[in-house]
């Protein structure tokens, strides 16, 4: 039995290291095969992390409607199951529930009393997994409120209170927002490699004399204060951490661009360097491995400040009218290796 366990462990390691494409292609079959089987823990965790990192592989699959409800519940409960808007989860969950046997049409105006009862039962186990308080108020009114008959009354009332008096502390569990602290393959320089389920980005050897950029999936918009850490696990010749807007070129250095605002390891801040040819002194240099840079973005004031290795510095002078929609960003060269994480 011990020899068999060792063989199973070895096979899993080979699959994860050398046959990732095969796993991803057959991810539904593999995750259901490994569900509640401790000896397949490595494969199970890999499949879970992959689905959490790329939610489209779940929602856009033709196999989604037949997906195991117990596994779906596990996924929806996870903080790292990321979508840009929680309403995406609600809409797809409705689609999944309507697609179970017997099938129910998605037009709620055509439901009869029995269909309301059936849908309420199908969705009941998932309700606590939906972060309703993080659904924008307009989406809630248009896409959630019409289904109030199948949702708990106290939930609807609490959500209305939450949106009506947003600055008042209410005795309700709003749940944390899902974490988007994973680098985005679709917004990444061509010579950068994303590893560790999206948490780490590193530069290839071909990128020794120039910089490329990458941003994570999360969008920073509306109001409030956003904070995150970038750990420079491996230093390169100048490291850059900050924010960027849309219309951004990830094939080059963020500080060259009018839509990039970054702090460099030389202690300077930089934006649109190609036009103004200026950098501004901000803090002491940090030319080392394992430096932690915390970004403090205040979207109420449209300003930004940084903490480097536990020492917080003032808001960056001149960065007081940042755009209303931003993303975290880093620029690096070889042998740079950066990790992004919640603060």
Task: Assign 264 a pLDDT band (cuts: 50, 70, 90).
Answer: very high
Q: Is the pLDDT of residue 272 over 60?
A: yes
CA dist 81 and 52 (Å) reads 4
pLDDT of residue 66: 94
Residues of the chain with CATH 2.60.120.920: 183-342
pLDDT of residue 295: 98
Q: Is the pLDDT of residue 164 over 90?
A: no
pLDDT digits (tens, 9 = 90+) for 7-34: 888 888 899 888 888 998 999 999 999 9
Q: Is the pLDDT of residue 70 over 90?
A: yes
Predicted TM-score (pTM) of the model is 0.72
Is 145 or 185 the better-scoring residue by pLDDT? 145
pLDDT of residue 23: 92
Q: Is the pLDDT of residue 138 over 60?
A: yes
Cα torsion through 246, 251, 254, 255, rounded to 10: -130
Q: Is the pLDDT of residue 167 over 70?
A: no
Token couple for 192: 């950068």
CA dist 320 and 38 (Å) reads 52
Task: Assign 233 a pLDDT band (cuts: 50, 70, 90).
Answer: very high
Buried b (16+ CB within 10 A) or exposed e, 54-71: bbebbbeeeebeebeeeb
Adjacency order of strands within the sheet including 192-195? 192-195, 200-203, 337-342, 225-234, 291-298, 303-308, 311-312
**Is the bond leading into 102 cis (omega within 30 degrees of zero)?**
yes
Average pLDDT over all residues of the chain: 91
Instruction: Decide if domain 183-342 falls under CATH 2.60.120.920.
Output: yes
């Amino acid at each position: 039995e011990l020899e068999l366990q060792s063989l199973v462990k070895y096979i899993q390691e080979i699959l994860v290291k050398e046959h990732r494409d095969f796993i991803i292609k057959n991810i539904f079959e593999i995750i259901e095969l490994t569900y509640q089987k401790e000896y397949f823990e490595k494969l199970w965790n890999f499949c879970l992390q992959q689905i959490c990192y790329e939610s489209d592989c779940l929602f856009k699959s033709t196999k989604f409607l037949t997906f195991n409800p117990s596994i779906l519940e596990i996924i929806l409960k996870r903080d790292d199951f990321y979508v840009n808007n929680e309403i995406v989860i609600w809409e797809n969950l409705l689609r999944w529930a309507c697609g179970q046997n017997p099938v129910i049409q998605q037009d709620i105006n055509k439901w009869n009393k029995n269909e309301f009862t059936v849908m309420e039962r199908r969705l009941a186990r998932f309700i606590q997994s939906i972060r309703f308080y993080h659904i924008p108020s307009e989406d809630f009114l248009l896409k959630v409120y019409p289904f109030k008959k199948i949702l708990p009354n106290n939930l609807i009332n609490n959500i209305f209170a939450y949106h009506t008096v947003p600055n008042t502390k209410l005795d309700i569990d709003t749940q944390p927002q899902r974490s988007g602290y994973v680098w985005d393959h679709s917004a990444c320089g061509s010579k950068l490699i994303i590893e560790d389920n999206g948490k780490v980005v590193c530069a290839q050897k071909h990128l020794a004399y120039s910089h490329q950029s990458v941003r994570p999936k999360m969008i920073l918009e509306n109001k409030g204060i956003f904070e995150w850490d970038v750990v420079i696990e491996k230093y390169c010749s100048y490291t850059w951490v900050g924010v960027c807007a849309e219309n951004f070129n990830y094939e080059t250095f963020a500080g060259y661009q009018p839509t990039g605002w970054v702090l460099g390891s030389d202690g300077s801040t930089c934006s649109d360097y190609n036009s103004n040819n200026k950098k501004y002194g901000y803090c002491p240099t940090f030319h080392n491995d394992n430096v932690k840079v915390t970004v403090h973005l205040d979207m109420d004031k449209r300003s930004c400040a940084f903490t480097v290795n536990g020492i917080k510095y003032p808001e960056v002078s001149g960065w007081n009218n940042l755009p209303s929609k931003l993303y975290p960003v880093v620029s690096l060269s070889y042998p740079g290796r950066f990790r992004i994480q919640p603060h």
